[in-house]
Structures are given as C-alpha cells and as structure tokens.
Amino acid sequence: MKIFTTEDIRQIDRYTLENEPIASIDLMERAAQAIACEVISRWLPNRRIVIFAGPGNNGGDALAVARLLIEQGYKAVEVFLFNIGGNKISAECRTNKERLQALGDVDFTEVVNDFNPPYLSKSDIVIDGLFGAGLRDPLKGGYAAMIRYINESGAYVVSIDVPSGLFGEWNDKNDRHNIVNAHLTLALQFPRLAFFFAENHTFVGEWKVLDIELSKEAISTLPSDIYLVEREDVHRKLRHRKLFANKYDFGSLMLVAGSYGMMGAAVLSARAAMRTGCGLVTVHAPRCGMLTMQTAVPEAIFDPDKHDIITSDIALKHNYSTIAIGPGIGTNAATIDALEKFLINSKAPCLLDADALNCLEQRRNLLNSLPIMSVLTPHAREFERLFGEYYTDEDRVKKALETARYYNIIIVLKGHYTKTVFPDGKIYINHSGNVGMATAGSGDVLTGVIGSLMAQGYRPEVAAVLGVFLHGYAGDLAAAQLGTYSLTASDIIDFLPKAIIDTMADK
C-alpha cells in the first residue's frame, strides 16, 4: 500500500471529484457514513457522544457524523462547532451545519466568541473533528486550551482522519503539548506516515483505515516514496519452486556468526536461513563452536576459524551467493581486523548485523568500504552508536535516509513498524510483528531470513523487505498460539514455514 503525503491526498481527492464525478459535499457524506458506521459498531445509542467540529472540512465530516448518529437513534449527541469570529467555516462545513440544524431539536452550539467547555467524564465518547492533516502550524491559543481540556478529561477520544494538531508526515517542528491524545483514529482511505513513529502513538492510539472509495486510477498512477508492506505485496514477490530444481538453485549463504559463549546467535541465524529455503548454509565460527553447530543445525556446513574462541579471519573458500556477518561475533580487535580486510576486498552486497555493526562503530572509516547495496540491520541503539543519538523515530528515519543515500546502502531500522530505507529515498514500513518479538535472538533470526533470501537471488532491497515481513508474520503466528509474554526467537523460526505457506497461498 502506498503511503501518500497530505498534498498527494489532496490531488487524489481532486481527481476523484473531477473524474468520478462526485460533488465535494457528497464525498464528505461518504466519509461521514464510514465513520458513523464504525462508531455504531462499537457503541450503543445510550452513550453520551460529544462532537467537536472545526471550521474546515474535518469539521464538516464531524457535523455530518453527528447528523447520521442522531438519525440512527443516538439521543445523547452534543455538537460544538468552532467558528471563531464568525463566517470562517468552509462551504461544505456550512452545508452540513444547515443539514444538522434541519433535524430540529439538536443539542448544537456554535462557538463564535467565548466558550464554556462541557463537562466530560470517563464514560463519554468524544469525536474530534477540529483539524485534519492539512494543518501547517502548531495549534495555540484557545484551540490549544481546548485540546488540553479534552486530553485531561479521561473521555474516550475518536479522531477523524488524524488527531487534531498532528501533522500528517513530519512533526519535528510541532508542539506536542497541543495535540489530541486519541484512543482511536479513523483514517480516511490511507494511514499517514506520522502514525508509524513511536513518539506519536500517544496521539494516534489504535488506528483503522476507512475506505471512502477515492479514485483507484489516481491511487495507482500517483507515485509515492513510502509504502506499507502487507501480505499481498509479499505474495506477489515470493517465487514458487520449479519441479526439477536442486539445492544449488536456491543459493549458498556464508554466515559469519558466533564466538565463545555466543554460539546460540549462530544457531538461530543458521536455522532461520535453512527454514527460509536457502539451499546451502555454511557457518564460519571459532573452533569452539563446531560441536554446537553440528549438533544443533546438522543441515549446515561448519567452516572453522583458525582461532579457538573468536573469529580472526573471513577467508572465503568458495564462491558463496551471499555473506551475512555479525550475530555473536564480538568486537575483539582481531575480529574487527578480519571484517576490515573482508570489506576492503569485497564487491558484492553483504548483510551486516549485530556485532558487525558494533565493529563498524569502533572503526567508522569502514563505512566507506561497504559494498554498494549492502544491507545493515540495526536496532535503535546500534543505529545511534553508529550515526549519533536521536530522540525520536522520525529523526532516526531522516538520518537513515541521509545515510543510505550517502553510502548507497540499505538500512533496516528494526522495531515496531520496522522501516527499510533505500538509497533512492524510498521507505518500506513493515506491518507484521508484535511486542513479543522484543526478545533476545530475534534479530539473529532476521539475519538468517534476509541472508537466505539474498542467497536465493532476490535483490538485496527486495530480500530485506520480504525478510522483514516474513519474520514479523512468523512472530504473529507464534504469538497467536503462545502469547507475547512467552515468545522466544526459536518460536519465530518454528513458525517460519507456516508464514511462508500462508503468504504464498492464493487467497
């Protein structure tokens, strides 16, 4: 699914109005019907619903929702339209105001000057239709005070399209004190980029996209640099296997992983790579890891380092399809030297994770030796150790875009809504996964999954996006049976086969 900017969505709206064709007021009615249906599906008519409508089209949506709820028998609906100074509401908002008032006995207040806010309790539903994603400046004055009043009330807040005060994309210049804290955000046709940053979760809450039937032609033809990766996207990319294929058709992965006391990382990565379908997996590790690897992953070949407890060389004895380096290798000086020698002499894209990233942090000049289109998979702390401290997801993504472009690499920013950033500025946001995957070894599994796909011939950027989704989906399947508290990295591996089967199946 494409994630469009606020300006892009305006273009799609205009195209829909001109080519469906449909009047703006009728498109607003379509949106209001979708919102009202969602409200009706969640709350009974005896609940008190207080609706705050702004002067623009977001307010017009809210007024139309109020009318539809009243028509469906909701008796305790109170509506406040903010028209500060008078005669400042949009044409569609005015039309919906008149339609609402035409119902007769409606609890409706138009705020032109002073405002005495209604009492709100924890049992009330507030529908926030003050401002949409088109807001360009932080809220202040009376509107800021109104939003703080809503937030402090304890009422359950439903925001239309976006929480009032939140910008649709970047909020680094916003005033976060003056944004509605929604419990539920009902997004119209598309989620917004801002929904996928951790620091905005307080504002967005649960979110759900409502289809208001904007032009499919406009959606398909308008380009976007941001995508939400869903099952259907991965389904189209995963390849079915040919009847007469053999193991050499599915690639060979060299996995440099493990050290004394950290062989579990190598085991997890190797098992994940095998479960994701790699034809041949070779694990290069210190000699101390031979018994562990041969016992835990007998399908993998063990290539011993000359050192007993650390990796001191990364000498390739065969022409492997892909090299993945990092899980559990440590940051011994000899290991960093081995990584440096490998990177200086390597031209093919490789995958670097975990301790390989920590090695880069200690010798940053090696970033200049990364082969083009290599994949780095840092979690937030690893990313900040390499590229500086950042206080928000948004800032990390901006830095990742800059870094990926500068070094011509792919960066997988791990976390909830993992974001895969390409050097051409594209961002792929993952929609699978759960909090149970925040557990030791989960990243090692992801290394095996992405490395396996790269070895099978998927381009690095495709392997990264597909691997992140399959990893998250396997975690979702595991959590459905085991819960999120008890989930382990091994559980993710165990559910990889079902994740692949389900994703490849026609539905």
Residues 277, 178, single domain; the answer is no
Is the pLDDT score of 114 beyond 90? no
What is the layout of strands, in order, in the sheet containing 301-304? 226-229, 427-430, 419-421, 410-413, 375-376, 351-352, 322-325, 252-256, 280-285, 301-304
Mention every residue, 6+ apart, whose C-beta is less than 8 A from residue 220.
Answer: none
Residue 320 has pLDDT above 90, yes or no: yes
294 plus 370 within the same structural domain: yes
Helical segments of 246-296, H only? 263-275, 290-296
d(CA 221, CA 111): 42
Both 202 and 262 in one domain: the answer is: no
Task: Identify whether 14 is part of a domain.
Answer: yes
The CA-atom distances, in angstroms, between 155 and each of 171, 304, 373, 391 are 25, 62, 49, 29
Residue 88 has what pLDDT? 87
pLDDT bin (cut points 50, 70, 90) of residue 280 is very high
Q: Among residues 196, 224, 252, which one ends one of the domains?
A: 224
Same domain, 359 and 401: yes
Per-residue pLDDT reduced to its tens digit, 209-251: 999 999 999 999 999 999 999 999 999 999 999 999 999 999 9
Q: What is the mean pLDDT of the chain?
A: 97
My answer on whether 347 and 382 are in the same domain is: yes
In this prediction, residue 276 carries a pLDDT of 98
Report the percent of the chain where pLDDT is more than 70. Answer: 100
CB atoms inside a 10 Å sphere around CB 457: 14
Average pLDDT over residues 424-443: 98
Output the pLDDT for position 347.
95
Which domain-ending residue is among 224, 241, 266? 224
Taking the CA atoms of 257, 260, 262 and 265 in sequence, report the sign of the dihedral they define. Answer: positive
Domain-located, residue 1:
no
Top pLDDT among 190 and 114 is at: 190
Q: What are residue 303's DSSP bridge partners? A: 284
- Same domain (yes/no): 208, 245: no
pLDDT per position as a tens digit, 26-44: 999 999 999 999 999 999 9
Q: Is residue 27 part of a domain?
A: yes
Q: Which domain holds residue 370?
A: 232-504
Burial of 312 (0-12, 13-18, 19+ CB in 10 A): middle
Between CA 44 and CA 53, with CA 50 as vertex, the angle to 5 degrees is 125
Q: Are strands 252-256 and 322-325 parallel, antiparallel or unpaired?
A: parallel
Strands 280-285 and 322-325, bridge-based pairing: unpaired
**Is residue 85's pLDDT more than 90?**
no
- Within a domain: residue 129? yes
Q: Is 90 exceeded by the pLDDT of residue 134?
A: no
Structure tokens at 8: 């892009």
How far apart are alpha carbons 269 and 273 in whole angstroms? Answer: 6
Which of 158, 190, 224 represents a domain boundary (last residue)?
A: 224
Task: Report pLDDT digits (tens) over 299-308.
Answer: 999 999 999 9
Contacting residues for 420 by C-beta, under 8 A, at least 6 apart: 410, 411, 412, 413, 427, 428, 430, 461, 464, 465, 468
pLDDT reported for residue 50:
98
Residues 168 and 200 placed together within one structural domain of the fold: yes
Asked whether residue 367 is domain-assigned, the answer is yes
Domain identity same for 402 and 484:
yes
Q: How many domains, the chain?
A: 2
Token pair recorded at residue 245: 């294929």
**Predicted local confidence at residue 253, as pLDDT:** 98
Residues 107-119 have a mean pLDDT of 94
> How far is 425 from 279, CA to CA, in rounded Å?
33
Place of tokens 């990295």: 489
State the Cα angle at 184 between 183 and 186, rounded to 5°.
Answer: 160
Q: CATH no. for residue 124?
A: 3.40.50.10260
Mean pLDDT score, 193-214: 98
Q: Which residues contact 61 (CB under 8 A, 6 or more apart)?
A: 28, 31, 32, 35, 129, 160, 161, 188
Confidence of residue 112 (pLDDT cuts 50, 70, 90): very high
**pLDDT-derived band of residue 65, with 50, 70 and 90 as boundaries?**
very high
Q: CA angle, corner 207, sides to 205 and 210, nearest 5?
A: 155
Q: Are residues 269 and 374 in the same domain?
A: yes
Domain for residue 303, yes or no?
yes
241 and 163, same structural domain? no
- 283 and 214, same domain (yes or no): no
What CATH number corresponds to the domain at position 445? 3.40.1190.20
What is the separation, in whole angstroms, between the first and last Cα of the chain?
Answer: 17
Whole-angstrom Cα distance, residue 12 to residue 503? Answer: 30
Domain match, 177 and 39 both:
yes
What one-character-per-residue DSSP string does 77-105 give? EEEEEE-TTSS-S-HHHHHHHHHHHTTSS
